[in-house]
Structure 1
Amino acid sequence: MKSYQVAEFEAPLVLAEIDTPQPTGTQVLVRVMAAGVCHSDLHIWEGGYELGHGRKRLSLKDRGISLPRTMGHETVGEVVAFGPDAQNEPGVKIGDIALVYPWIGCGKCAVCLAGDENMCLKPNCLGVHCDGGYSDHILVPHPRYLLDLQGLDPVTAAPYACSGVTTYSALKKVESDLGNPIVIFGAGGLGLMALALLKAMGGKGAIVVDIDARKREAAIKAGALGAVDGNAPDALEQLAKAAGGPILSVIDLVGTPSTTQLGFDALSKGGKLIMVGLFGGGATWALPLIAMKALTIQGSYVGNLRETRELLELVRTRHVAPIPVIPLPFAQANAALDDLRAGRLIGRAVLTP
């Protein structure tokens, strides 16, 4: 099979041709039909994360990731083979078109057994710690990680494995406040996904903050209540005016010092800041205000398998419109990463055979 791999950090992906693996045990072999290109892939490609405040950069080695690595954690494909111990598992059969849940843990610890494998301390995430979907085929460790798409389009559904469940999980953390306008930082693939899911969840709407005018325009077209330039000197005043009342929920899908500071400043007493984005840097919050305003700052990392199932059911029952996708052949994987890093993409690039 052909795989596009990170062989050296910040160097172009290389095309590797290897024998197509044969599934063993509970493994399932899936022929890849679509693989989303996520901003998290950039951090793998670049080799790490900036922590700010003069701290040592968090490297992939620190996260237990080695090279070469086939990225791709937003994968849809066709089931083509089972290992001998997987054949009797219910719910999946040869020929099924499935979304691959990638946020896999050790499967044995208390966290995994409670259903929160995305929080496991010994992760085996597909496309991150194990090879993923930038390839002809992907090995999935167990049939339970395959979610039947039931007629959903493979290309537009692929982002649900990351941008979908990530934003859904973040929105659930502020679910009690969805009757009021919330603030969302970032109008890329995650931001547009969040707007679609917010509407499906019955939310009043969101004011979106982005420094790119094209992305702000896309957010408005996607139903945002308003769009604010985060670099504007009066951005805080614009947010307050657009909200028309206290801002109690901010979801930061970017994660830079400037976005977190503006989000922090926008919150009213008792507000909650949900941190999702991994762009990098350090926070600059005034610590006394966290207590004085009784603020909650909470991280949200992707989502669990249960939430992914809930998400797909929401998409089906509420007829959630897919975010804009740009289908590209696998041979253009490097161009897709370049465009993503340069901020040229509106929506999501999805690699296809």
Structure 2
Amino acid sequence: MRALQYAPDRGTDLVDLPVPEAAANEVLLQVDACGVCGSDRQIVRGETPPFGTQFPLVLGHEIAGTIVAVGDAVDGWDVGDAVLVHPFCPCGTCAVCRRGESHLCSQQGCIGFTRQGGFAEYVAVPADQLVRRPAHLDPAAAAILVDAYATPQRALVAAHADKAATALVIGTGGLGLAAIQLLKAGAVARVASASRRAAGLDVAQSAGAEVAVALTDARGAARAIRRFAGAGGVDLVLDTVGDGQSLGFALDALRPGGTVVIVGMPAGDVAVPMARLVRRGVRCIGSYGSQRSDVVEVVKLAADGRIDPPALLGRRLALEDVPLALATQSGGRDVILP
């Protein structure tokens, strides 16, 4: 099979590899589509990979596929089933997993990092990671649900977004735009957006934000958000940037007693304005990754037309174009169609 393999010492190569065999608890998928995530680009840029990553590696963790072989111990799945793959593979037995927080499992692997991923014609994955894909969903749009949407979905669950009347999303990349759609699909009636990119303002409003402000004038932007929300500020901030500027802006835009949930992970440490956080009674939490249940939920929302993943798509590329997709960024989530 054709696959795009990456190693730090030689970069990306289009290679021929044997078609993997499905182990007893696995299925073999023909890859219909695989999204290109920012974390893929980070690895290629030389940033530290997740613990357990081994090279050479076939990247790609946002996978939509069709089952072509089923392991002997797999029940409930058949050849021909259209599926999505939840990429995070928790151990299932540690105290964190038993507590229902499998997305925080320190022993979890990730398809496309600690095992071979979807930048290939075929991939073998554990059957426990599968989520059924509705036939009417475009594979390219469905593929990005497993991370670009599932990650902010987990953050909104952690932040109890259903209790918020107003919300602000900082950042207008894939996670930010997906978060706006998810908030509008849920119980939050009024959603605002903040972006460092001028082009992000129009995109955010197209995604459903009622107000979009530029972070080039952070003080004026925070005033605009407080006026929009009333009650001293928004109830909830979802920060997809996660640096010192975005956290400071979040605190300026948030009402006393509000919640900020952070999914952005900058490379360096960030100074926390602790006195402001404490005096305002702010609940500040981090959110990482997702659970399989989050993928199930966003698939339902997409199937019902309550969110619009095609709106986040960028380029549709062949395998040989993966190096281009890893080196450059388009206006949306690029997807590989092997």
TM-score normalised by L of structure 1? 0.88
Q: Return the match for 2:244 from 242, 248, 257.
A: 257
Deviation at 1:78, TM superposition (A): 0.6
Other-structure match for 1:112: 97
Q: How does 1:281-300 map to 2 (within 5 A)?
A: 281-300=268-287
Q: Percent identity of the aligned residues?
A: 30
Q: Which amino acid counterpart does residue 102 of structure 1 have in structure 2?
A: P
Residues 31 and 137 in structure 1, CA contact (< 8 A), matched pair in contact too: yes
Other-structure match for 1:103: 88
Deviation at 1:262, TM superposition (A): 1.3
Other-structure match for 1:149: 133
- Aligned in 2, Cα 1:209/1:280: closer, same or farther, shift over 3 Å? farther
- Aligned in 2, Cα 1:31/1:116: closer, same or farther, shift over 3 Å? farther
Per-residue CA deviations over 1:194-229 (Å, capped at 9, x if unaligned) read 122112113213211111111211111222111111
Other-structure match for 1:22: 21
Other-structure match for 1:339: 328
Other-structure match for 2:120: 135
Provide the aligned length of Structure 1 versus Structure 2: 333
Residues 175 and 240 in structure 2, CA contact (< 8 A), matched pair in contact too: yes
Q: How does 1:30-109 map to 2 (within 5 A)?
A: 30-48=29-47, 59-60=48-49, 63-86=51-74, 89-90=75-76, 92-109=77-94
Q: Which amino acid counterpart does residue 76 of structure 1 have in structure 2?
A: A
Q: Which amino acid counterpart does residue 72 of structure 2 have in structure 1?
A: P
| Rounded Cα–Cα distance in structure 1 between residues aligned with 2:292 and 2:100 | 7
- Aligned in 2, Cα 1:348/1:205: closer, same or farther, shift over 3 Å? farther
Other-structure match for 2:303: 316
| Rounded Cα–Cα distance in structure 1 between residues aligned with 2:149 and 2:290 | 9
SS in 2 for 1:132: coil
| Rounded Cα–Cα distance in structure 2 between residues aligned with 1:32 and 1:176 | 34
Deviation at 1:318, TM superposition (A): 4.8
Deviation at 1:321, TM superposition (A): 2.0
Deviation at 1:113, TM superposition (A): 4.6
Q: Return the match for 1:213 from 189, 195, 198.
A: 198
Bigger mean CA offset, 106-115 vs 219-228? 106-115
Q: Which amino acid counterpart does residue 6 of structure 1 have in structure 2?
A: Y
| Rounded Cα–Cα distance in structure 2 between residues aligned with 1:266 and 1:224 | 15
Deviation at 1:65, TM superposition (A): 1.9
SS in 2 for 1:231: helix
Q: Which amino acid counterpart does residue 336 of structure 1 have in structure 2?
A: A
| Rounded Cα–Cα distance in structure 2 between residues aligned with 1:239 and 1:282 | 27
Q: Return the match for 1:182 from 167, 179, 189.
A: 167
| Rounded Cα–Cα distance in structure 1 between residues aligned with 2:15 and 2:332 | 28
- Aligned in 2, Cα 1:179/1:258: closer, same or farther, shift over 3 Å? closer
| Rounded Cα–Cα distance in structure 2 between residues aligned with 1:287 and 1:109 | 32
Residues 73 and 132 in structure 1, CA contact (< 8 A), matched pair in contact too: yes
Structure with greater strand percent: 2
Give the ranges of 4+ consecutive aligned residues of structure 1 lying more than 6 Å apart after TM superposition: none
- Aligned in 2, Cα 1:41/1:17: closer, same or farther, shift over 3 Å? same
Bigger mean CA offset, 188-197 vs 169-178? 169-178
Per-residue CA deviations over 1:15-57 (Å, capped at 9, x if unaligned) read 2221111112211111111111111222222333xxxxxxxxx
SS in 2 for 1:95: coil
| Rounded Cα–Cα distance in structure 2 between residues aligned with 1:176 and 1:351 | 33
| Rounded Cα–Cα distance in structure 1 between residues aligned with 2:263 and 2:303 | 25
Q: Please say if 1:236 is aligned against 2:251.
A: no
Q: Which amino acid counterpart does residue 144 of structure 1 have in structure 2?
A: D
Other-structure match for 2:292: 305
Deviation at 1:284, TM superposition (A): 2.5
Q: Return the match for 1:269 from 256, 261, 276.
A: 256
SS in 2 for 1:261: helix
Residues 58 and 118 in structure 2, CA contact (< 8 A), matched pair in contact too: yes
TM-score normalised by L of structure 2? 0.92
Question: Which 5+ residue runs of structure 1 have no aligned equivalent?
Answer: 49-58
| Rounded Cα–Cα distance in structure 1 between residues aligned with 2:193 and 2:187 | 17
Deviation at 1:339, TM superposition (A): 2.3
Q: State the Cα RMSD in Å.
A: 2.0
SS in 2 for 1:139: strand
| Rounded Cα–Cα distance in structure 1 between residues aligned with 2:254 and 2:236 | 7
Other-structure match for 1:8: 8
- Aligned in 2, Cα 1:321/1:60: closer, same or farther, shift over 3 Å? closer
SS in 1 for 2:257: coil
Deviation at 1:290, TM superposition (A): 2.2
Deviation at 1:275, TM superposition (A): 0.8
Bigger mean CA offset, 254-263 vs 267-276? 254-263
